[in-house]
Structure 1
């Protein structure tokens, strides 16, 4: 099965899906496809069923009776039956579904938005499990059943622990967002600065270019501000309310006001549970559940500190949500009135740089260090990249390290390969390098860093001539600019 020409990237996902769809053997098999909303899962699975001649059913929020009626009609149409199947319960429907591969060879069957069906019929996973049991397989045909959904907490639990389908799946595919480099290619933005600014607003979600902006992209640095006003802050465009809908669409999020407040606290720069609690005027223990739920649905991440085992940072996983809470939510009433966006956007520039682009640039630098930098850049094979705080008792302060790279050196020793500082809107000079050298000395005295630990300077605004000369003579100093982030190693 050839990948459709209109499908961008997704080579790995397409290869795994087509492999699963063509698995030989007479028994029915199960696969699970998940991922955050708007990533193109339905597009992928629709293309797969079209290419393989399979069956696809997209569920909606409905009662069990309505769902069975819709499923029966869709299955009858696929089977060229003159009248719809009338199923009284899902046992009958699943039994009939397992017979559709009677025309010779494996046949793909997709149930999209599976969490909607399971919400109305909680026994459905157990029914599917029973249909896949060896005792039931003698009546099955070689159906390649794919269950798909965007409710990450539900889909993650479908195959976990004591869940009925645990151990039954031959495929567990997560469709990720596009990383910053792929996102630039997808948006067809060649200027690295414009690409990163755009990525800081909309991230790597494919639908935000196709369905939500109808292909409207910033033409260059001089068009970026106008693009934000016309495509993101415009109350007539879909992106305007998307961040709100992302929460409303998650079935696990009941008290959306609380979750919005937690996200706003994180967007304001509060990364610890205590800091978030202080921002909201609540006890730290009160936030354990909402933070856990937001993490389960994929809206925030909880990243361990590179140097303190008992410390971790909460970060928003979806850039559009950060942009909404930092820039849009404080001015929401005015933004809903046409014509106010240009003035609001001008006033929001300092907040946008400090709360949105700055942290996003640091995250992009960590992604580059983890996935795109060459082994020679770090002096070893990377195992983990994180940020962290380093205590400085003599100065009675602590220093933040934006990029800390751990891994294994070429001679097989594990340890800290590199530490780095990232500045989005500030040209870096020798004082930034001296700061890194001071941190390096602190870490060396504690046995964390070594004499071979590299010092990396990441900048979106360039480097001073003095720093460039130092980097040319010191093999442990690396300078990474925007062009290298997007095109180099």
Structure 2
């Protein structure tokens, strides 16, 4: 049985909604495989729940399946024998049953009902207003197609807008919980697996208990029959048209082109033609536009860079998509050997930076004050892996992340201190702190120096 890990805040939200006096209406959405159904199933344990999975069949087929499910759940022979051309009698039957006890009513892949009948959100709105909102029911609408869930349920112009009492956009599990999936993995093995799977539970399960990262990559991704071989196509094909154009954009970003001008130049298109693709990918939570953390007007900043947010999608577009012709012709070992030469330096080291940025919040316990964390870059290609600061105070943290097999010494700290001079935020009044993350530890000289300085921290991800 798959492990249920993290989701503490999400479970608290659901339990609060369950405890609400009267009806509640929760929307749960997020990309496929991220664990929405597992979250709902875990929450519904020991509760009276109806779980209906909407399919891509016709509206009448779905309605009939829902009728059969409800009649069977409540042993309602009258409903079972009824021939219905509307949804209302089925929901009324659930509402009547809720007079005896609170019922959790889940409609999973809700967007399929809207695809079958564009008017279904209006139908659902009327059912909520006239039936379910007056019952002892917790309604959960869940969906994987982010664009459709947004348009059908969350947008201002949706008939269901304003009805929900809570919403959860389910994201991937943070690295800090990764060790709970397999406690036998070393920190370094966890980092390398996380660099491929991200925090997607389904992907993590595939790699579970497998020590050799390259064998896992070969068996689960590079093989043309593997579960993850064509996963990005599956994730995107129902969200966008022109999937080839979106793949070209993602391949270009994964190759290291992050500026709008460089992406457009690499693709041979104008920047204006590119913006709609980038906006859609941002809306789908696949990429993000990032600016230096100290920028005061991010939307107007000319320093914006586009990055893929998902470790697996980044990995796939770096190492799988460009080599698909070879993989299709059976040259798996050749592609794997090529991957091994670039995996650590060109992929894991960047994911390590993300992990360190997530970990930096632990410095709050050391008395350092900050409320913003991110990257910083400026002119002359100067980049700082981590910058954290207190927007209402004067503390500022500068961090460097080194994923290599050599211990790091004074040179790394001095280089970081030099780069920090280029950051202008409260330059004359701020209190500076410096953090070095190193996979392989530190030299005795740097350790001794840090002991003498209260503003220098040396950290390993354990």
Q: Give the structure-2-normalised TM-score.
A: 0.89
Distance between the aligned counterparts of 1:227 and 1:5, measured in 2? 18
SS of equivalent to 1:348: helix
Contact 2:70 2:90 in 1 (8 A): no
Structure 2 CA distance for partners of 1:84 and 1:321, relative to 1, 3 Å = farther
Distance between the aligned counterparts of 1:482 and 1:156, measured in 2? 37
Q: Which residue does the alignment assign to 2:385?
A: 402
- Counterparts of residues 10-89 of structure 1 (less than 5 Å): 10-25=7-22, 28-82=23-77, 83=80, 85-89=82-86
Distance between the aligned counterparts of 2:458 and 2:81, measured in 1? 65
| CA positional deviation for 1:32 | 0.9
Pairing 1:188–2:183 present: yes
Distance between the aligned counterparts of 1:456 and 1:254, measured in 2? 45
Structure 2 CA distance for partners of 1:24 and 1:253, relative to 1, 3 Å = same
Contact 1:21 1:107 in 2 (8 A): no
Structure 2 CA distance for partners of 1:352 and 1:139, relative to 1, 3 Å = closer
Distance between the aligned counterparts of 1:164 and 1:247, measured in 2? 26
Pairing 1:429–2:426 present: no
| CA positional deviation for 1:92 | 4.8
Contact 2:91 2:131 in 1 (8 A): no
CA RMSD of aligned residues (A): 2.6
Contact 1:73 1:85 in 2 (8 A): no
| CA positional deviation for 1:426 | 6.0
From 346, 358, 368, the equivalent of 1:355 is 346
Distance between the aligned counterparts of 1:279 and 1:361, measured in 2? 27
From 252, 263, 269, the equivalent of 1:276 is 263
After superposition, the C-alpha distances for 1:377-402 in whole angstroms (9 at most, x for unaligned) are 4711x3111112133xxxxx241011
| CA positional deviation for 1:322 | 0.8
Structure 1, gaps ≥5 residues long: 392-396, 484-489
Contact 2:288 2:308 in 1 (8 A): yes
SS of equivalent to 1:194: helix
After superposition, the C-alpha distances for 1:349-405 in whole angstroms (9 at most, x for unaligned) are 3432233212211111111124xx13144711x3111112133xxxxx241011110
| CA positional deviation for 1:86 | 3.2
| CA positional deviation for 1:5 | 10
Moved more, 78-87 or 360-369: 78-87
Q: Which residue does the alignment assign to 1:293?
A: 280
After superposition, the C-alpha distances for 1:12-39 in whole angstroms (9 at most, x for unaligned) are 32333233234333xx331111222112
The list of structure 1 runs, each at least 4 consecutive aligned residues, that deviate by more than 4 angstroms after superposition, is 91-97, 137-140, 448-451
Contact 1:194 1:218 in 2 (8 A): no
Structure 2 CA distance for partners of 1:289 and 1:306, relative to 1, 3 Å = same
Distance between the aligned counterparts of 1:237 and 1:138, measured in 2? 43
Q: Which residue does the alignment assign to 1:479?
A: 458
SS of equivalent to 1:36: coil
Q: Which residue does the alignment assign to 1:121?
A: 117
SS of equivalent to 1:482: coil
Q: Which residue does the alignment assign to 2:102?
A: 106
Q: Which residue does the alignment assign to 1:368?
A: 359
Structure 2, gaps ≥5 residues long: none
Work out the number of aligned pairs and report it.
453
Pairing 1:439–2:424 present: no
Contact 2:368 2:395 in 1 (8 A): no
- Counterparts of residues 288-327 of structure 1 (less than 5 Å): 288-308=275-295, 309=298, 310=301, 311-327=303-319
| CA positional deviation for 1:95 | 4.4
Q: Which residue does the alignment assign to 1:244?
A: 233
Distance between the aligned counterparts of 1:240 and 1:435, measured in 2? 41
Q: Which residue does the alignment assign to 1:462?
A: 441
Distance between the aligned counterparts of 2:174 and 2:315, measured in 1? 18
Contact 2:5 2:180 in 1 (8 A): no
| CA positional deviation for 1:50 | 4.8
| CA positional deviation for 1:264 | 0.8
Structure 2 CA distance for partners of 1:78 and 1:399, relative to 1, 3 Å = same
